[in-house]
Amino acid sequence: MSCSTVKLTVMCSASGTNLQALIDAVAAGSIPNASIIKVVVNRKTAYAAKRAEQAGIPAEYFNLVNGRYHKAGEKDEAVLKTARAKYDADLAQRVLKDSPDMVVLAGWMHVFSEPFLKPLDAAGIPVINLHPALPGKYDGANAIQRAHEDFQAGRLENNKTGCMIHYVIAEVDRGEPILVEEVECREGETLEGLENRIHAVEHRIIVKATAQVATRLAATKTGRGRLEAKKRDN
Ligand SMILES: Nc1nc2c(c(=O)[nH]1)N[C@@H](CN(C=O)c1ccc(C(=O)N[C@@H](CCC(=O)O)C(=O)O)cc1)CN2
Ligand SMILES: NCC(=O)N[C@@H]1O[C@H](COP(=O)([O-])[O-])[C@@H](O)[C@H]1O
């Protein structure tokens, strides 16, 4: 019985080292029966798009401002909220068009509103995210920097930060954790030193968590395939 291939869409805003870890893991079979069918970037400067191109993976650039959802420098909160909702709704349709089995946010620096999350949820497509902090800590952007600052000020709980992969819900970085790894801060270590150590953890756990979710989805797909075949045979 052949296992169905799990189709991944990966979303990035930056250099794509986590995307590269996923590309390399799929190629090495560390994420079994999976393929990355699309990379979505929301920044023209995102080197992740280049990494996708080099791996022969289609990449799509789709940006809130360049896509004319609101003008650059817009300050009106109501206009920004409406624009974000419309962008998110359109982005959801773009993602759904590819029929992925799961979405991985690998350094995706845009907070999703419900117009993105609800259609994906309705389609039964899990969205998972890499967050370079421990559950409930340093939600949002610049998490490593904030943890480093707290450590230097003697405020970091247990002198530990870390990294997690979690399911994405509307509340930013508060979805159910899938994998968590602590990283102990070191006296005198620079922010760059801590970032490098955390990035190494990121590259490992994003592969492990994606493989874990993909394996569960593959079993579901295979089971569904068996059921449909059985119905056809009866
Ligand atoms: N609804 C959710 N959206 C996103 C989640 C989530 O858990 N729920 N995770 C984030 C990823 N992320 C941290 O892990 C994160 C990324 C970016 C931001 C943020 O403040 N973005 C700003 C824009 C920043 C910029 O463009 O430089 C924004 O969206 O206005 C917060 C958290 C992904 N989305
Ligand atoms: N809230 C999410 C977040 O802050 N993610 C951060 O973006 C980087 C993307 O790097 P990459 O583009 O090289 O994978 C990751 O290293 C991670 O620390």
pLDDT tens profile 110-150: 999 999 999 999 999 999 999 999 999 999 999 999 999 99
Beta strand pairing call for 59-61 and 177-184: unpaired
What is the complex's ipTM, to 2 decimals? 0.96
Q: For residue 132, give the nearest of 145, 119, 122 by alpha carbon.
A: 145
Neighbours of 77 (CB within 10 A): 8
Contact 103, 125 (CB under 8 A): yes
Tell which one of 10, 12, 18, 181 to mutate to probe ligand 2, the residue whose CB is within 8 A of the most ligand atoms: 18
| Residue ID of nearest Cα to ligand 2 atom 8 | 107
Element (H, E) at 179: strand 177-184
User: Of the bound ligands, which one is closest to the alpha carbon of residue 146?
Assistant: 2
Q: What is the CATH number of domain 6-233?
A: 3.40.50.170
Identify the bridge partners of residue 180 per DSSP, sorted by sequence position.
164
Q: Model confidence at 3, in pLDDT bands (50, 70, 90)?
A: low
**Cα 110 from Cα 172, distance rounded (Å):** 10
Q: What is the mean pLDDT of residues 44-68?
A: 95
Mean pLDDT (the chain) is: 95
Which atom belonging to ligand 2 lies closest to the Cα atom of 144?
A: 18
Q: Which residue has the higher pLDDT, 39 or 225?
A: 39
| Residue ID of nearest Cα to ligand 2 atom 4 | 141
Q: For residue 109, give the nearest of 16, 217, 4 by alpha carbon.
A: 16
Amino acid (one-letter) located at 39? V
pTM of the model: 0.95
Find the 58 Cα to ligand 2 centroid distance in Å: 21
| Residue ID of nearest Cα to ligand 1 atom 5 | 172
User: Of the bound ligands, which one is closest to the alpha carbon of residue 110?
Assistant: 1
User: What is the residue extent of each domain of the chain?
Assistant: 6-233
How many angstroms separate the Cα of 55 from the Cα of each of 38, 51, 149? 11, 6, 37
**Cα 234 from Cα 213, distance rounded (Å):** 32
Q: Catalytic positions, please?
A: 131
